[in-house]
Amino acid sequence: MKKKRSNTFETNSSSVHTITFDGRAENDLKVERDGYIHLRVRSYGKNYAAYPGAEDKLMYAILTVCYTHGIWLSWDYDYLDDEEAEDEFEALMNANDDWDDLIEELRETEEFQEIEQCVIDVMSTDSKPCKGIRFHAGDGYIDHQSQEYDSLEDFLTSNQIPDVKEFIFGKAVLRTDCD
């Protein structure tokens, strides 16, 4: 396989994820009454979409940490029909012990701790301190092309982003598409 674009793993798939700096900072995160930011785990595939908001960029950074540490918050059910896939999804959502173990494994990584501390620092106010991030189960998936990084730092450096705070809360816009 030949590399045709620098810093891009080439496959026969046509998925492309890019970071651009043509947006404005959009902080759509909210500290809830319990003092936490609640995130539903979500997927970033090959469909065209632009994600300028801090919530999506935060989730993307967290999923990058998951992939670089081998923590799979997703499942592969391409081989299942729709009804079987629905059953698999329900089983995963009901398997709280497994989900809790995966989240605990994520929380133990230094990279996640750096992300969470950044969010706490930015989102805390004197009247409403932020205690951290809580997760709600979902299908956490980044299309394969974006999984080629060795670490969150590698992801940020490859995209010329100085730090996690600038990625999540700055003017970066995450874009997904097919080329």
Q: What confidence score (pLDDT) does residue 143 get?
A: 75
Q: What confidence score (pLDDT) does residue 4 get?
A: 39
Q: What confidence score (pLDDT) does residue 118 get?
A: 98
C-beta separation of 176 from 14 below 8 A? no
pLDDT tens, position by position, 87-138: 665 665 555 557 788 899 999 999 999 999 999 999 999 999 999 999 987 7
Distance CA 142, CA 51 (A): 14
Q: What confidence score (pLDDT) does residue 127 get?
A: 93
Q: Is 41 exposed, middle or buried (0-12, 13-18, 19+ CB in 10 A)?
A: buried
Split at pLDDT 50, 70, 90, the class of 81 is low
Answer whether residue 9 shows pLDDT above 50: no
Answer whether residue 82 shows pLDDT above 70: no
Characterize 142-162 residue by residue with b for buried, 16 or more Cβ atoms within 10 angstroms of its Cβ, and e for exposed.
Answer: bbebbbebeebeebbeebebe
Answer whether residue 27 shows pLDDT above 60: yes
Distance CA 20, CA 63 (A): 19
Answer whether residue 56 shows pLDDT above 60: yes
Q: Rounded mean pLDDT of 66-93?
A: 65
Average pLDDT, the chain: 80
Answer whether residue 70 shows pLDDT above 80: yes
C-beta separation of 112 from 62 below 8 A? yes
